[in-house]
Amino acid sequence: MATDKGFFNYWVVENSGKGFITHDDSRKFWIRGYPGNVWVCDDIPESRDWGARNSAATKTKSQAQTIVTNIIDDAKDAWDADNEEGESSAEKIRRLGSKPTDITLP
Amino acid sequence: MATYKEIRGVNIQSRDSDPTAVEGDVWYNASTSKIRMFASLGSWASGGNLNTARRGIRGCGTQTAGLAASGATVAITEEYDGSSWTESGDLGTARYAGSHSGTQTASVYAGGFSATAVVANSEEYNGSSWTEGDDLGAGRYFIVGHGTQTAALATGGGPNSPRNSVILTESYDGSSWTEIADFNTAKKRHGGAGTQTAALIFGGDSPGATATTETWNGTAWTEVGDLNTARHGMAGFGTNTSAIAATGGPGPGTFSAIVEQWDGSSWTETSNVTAARRQSASAGNSTLGLIAGGDTGSVSSATEEWVVAASVETVAFD
């Protein structure tokens, strides 16, 4: 069974829906999705086949992290900028959800 | 550590071929010289994407006939056929995080948070449109729904004060909501499963993430085994003896891919979802379920389908 350990591939590809990740895929290798259509997989032949099947663009870890960080930073900025007069911080969280927090890729 | 014999009552048996097995059976296949085991393996795969990405959606139904309604803060309803989502009639009141119980053709949605306030009204879905039902006794949001349109439970939630959670259980008979019991640990943003007479609630915001689990027998709530990871904003589906608790997060703005499986007495970690998230819709049972949408750091339209497949595996040794 795949685990969180080992070396990874970093991809960018939009989730196309049904068939994008199959049960067979998720049983064969570890895969995790992040904001910005970033996907991190075990670096094994099966995951490379998955990337090719979905025409995923290969990224370095640094490039992938930058994509995720930019998305989260934009979301934080949007959260900070979205205010209503007289609204408490708790009321803002209820309206918008909690402020996004940083995500660090494995 | 217990031995196989202590657990199963017999030593590992030698067989000429793979036998008819049950969960956890281990045997030696003398023909292939392999140790084999029978295991149920759960996994997640992509399903069709929602038409509208959003969080705070509420789902019901099954993996091949699912229903997702509401979201922050819209009135959108979408039906799932096992492959794709199709928009249907809008809720009368745009809202998110109410309770939603029933099937794709007969459900009841109650409470939630509109663009400006907690609401108490409920609406019934007939497969194409919504009509107004009875109001909850207490308006609140981040409630969980259990059961059917004519025999539903709405558990927990938060009233207008954002930091509060309640221990409230209300029951719906198809025409009116009635407060029937309190549970032990206040919860909102919790997970739930089961029916009006046999329900399960787990995790949630108490306030602060809790791991507590309680089971309902139609009369009273009883505390049972805790989740391994305290979190809130999770999705849940199944029954009070076999359920899935998926995703959530341990604190505000955090996202988890963790999935735990309930066997009637304890939670065990199983295969994670492929994208960590919170506040998704959920539907199905503990062997065929789904989560859809939610918040991954940005709002998501992605659906993930849960399937448990029984299989015979060869045991490998390092």
Distance of alpha carbon B278 from alpha carbon B62, whole angstroms: 20
- Compute the average pLDDT of residues B266-293: 97
Q: What per-residue confidence (pLDDT) applies to B199?
A: 98
| Domain CATH code at residue B57 | 2.120.10.80
pLDDT tens for B135-174 read 999 999 999 999 999 999 999 999 876 678 999 999 999 9
Q: What per-residue confidence (pLDDT) applies to B5?
A: 83
* Mean confidence (pLDDT) of chain B: 94
Gap from A63 CA to chain B (nearest CA, Å): 18
Range in A1-5, A49-53, B236-240, B309-313 with the lowest mean pLDDT: A1-5
Interface test with A, best of B41, B44, B46, B161 (most A CBs within 10 A): B46
Nearest-by-CA chain B residue for A99: B253
Q: What per-residue confidence (pLDDT) applies to A98?
A: 83
Nearest CB to A18; choose among B47, B275, B307: B47
Q: What per-residue confidence (pLDDT) applies to A34?
A: 95
Same domain, B82 and B178: yes
Q: Within an 8 Å CB–CB cutoff, is residue B55 touching chain A? A: yes
Gap from A42 CA to chain B (nearest CA, Å): 13
- Domain hosting residue B125, numbered range: 42-308
Nearest-by-CA chain B residue for A32: B274
Is the confidence at residue A5, as pLDDT, over 60?
A: no
Beta-carbon separation of A91 and B279 below 8 A: no
Same domain, B56 and B8: no
Q: Within an 8 Å CB–CB cutoff, is residue B307 touching chain A? A: yes
Q: In total, how many domains does chain B have?
A: 2
Collect all residues of chain A within an 8 Å Cβ-Cβ radius of residue B207: none
In a domain, A102, yes or no: no
Amino acid making up residue B220: A
Range in A59-73, B30-44, B83-97 with the lowest mean pLDDT: B30-44
Is the confidence at residue A6, as pLDDT, over 60?
A: no
Same domain, B279 and B300: yes
In a domain, A103, yes or no: no
Per-residue CA distances from B27 to A3, B40, B307, B314 (Å):
26, 16, 25, 10
* Mean confidence (pLDDT) of chain A: 90
Q: Within an 8 Å CB–CB cutoff, is residue A53 touching chain B? A: no
Q: What per-residue confidence (pLDDT) applies to B242?
A: 97
Q: Within an 8 Å CB–CB cutoff, is residue B17 touching chain A? A: no
Collect all residues of chain A within an 8 Å Cβ-Cβ radius of residue B276: 32-33
- Compute the average pLDDT of residues B113-126: 94
Most distant CA pair in chain A: distance in Å? Answer: 56
Q: Within an 8 Å CB–CB cutoff, is residue A91 touching chain B? A: yes
- Compute the average pLDDT of residues A59-84: 94
Q: What per-residue confidence (pLDDT) applies to B4?
A: 83
Judge whether B142 and B100 are in contact, CB under 8 Å: no
Is the confidence at residue A4, as pLDDT, over 90?
A: no
Structure tokens at B279: 């506040």
Same domain, B261 and B290: yes
Gap from B247 CA to chain A (nearest CA, Å): 13
In a domain, A45, yes or no: yes
Is the confidence at residue B22, as pLDDT, over 90?
A: no
In a domain, A31, yes or no: yes
Range in B40-44, B240-244, B283-287 with the lowest mean pLDDT: B40-44
Is the confidence at residue B75, as pLDDT, over 50?
A: yes
In a domain, A105, yes or no: no
pLDDT tens for B188-225 read 999 999 999 999 999 999 988 999 999 999 999 999 99
Same domain, B21 and B68: no
- Domain hosting residue A78, numbered range: 8-96
Q: What per-residue confidence (pLDDT) applies to A18?
A: 97
Q: Within an 8 Å CB–CB cutoff, is residue B113 touching chain A? A: yes
- Residue A78: which residues within 8 A CB-CB, separation 6 or more? none
Q: Within an 8 Å CB–CB cutoff, is residue B94 touching chain A? A: no
Q: What per-residue confidence (pLDDT) applies to B161?
A: 65
Is the confidence at residue A94, as pLDDT, over 80?
A: no
Q: In total, how many domains does chain A have?
A: 1
- Compute the average pLDDT of residues B249-278: 94
Q: What per-residue confidence (pLDDT) applies to A3?
A: 43
Judge whether B62 and B25 are in contact, CB under 8 Å: no
Amino acid making up residue B91: L
Distance of alpha carbon B73 from alpha carbon B113, whole angstroms: 8
Between B8 and B118, where is the model more confident?
B118
Same domain, B135 and B26: no
Same domain, B78 and B14: no
Is the confidence at residue B269, as pLDDT, over 90?
A: yes
The DSSP bridge partners found for residue B277 are B256
In a domain, A106, yes or no: no
Q: What per-residue confidence (pLDDT) applies to A68?
A: 96
Same domain, B115 and B141: yes
Collect all residues of chain A within an 8 Å Cβ-Cβ radius of residue B44: 21, 23, 26
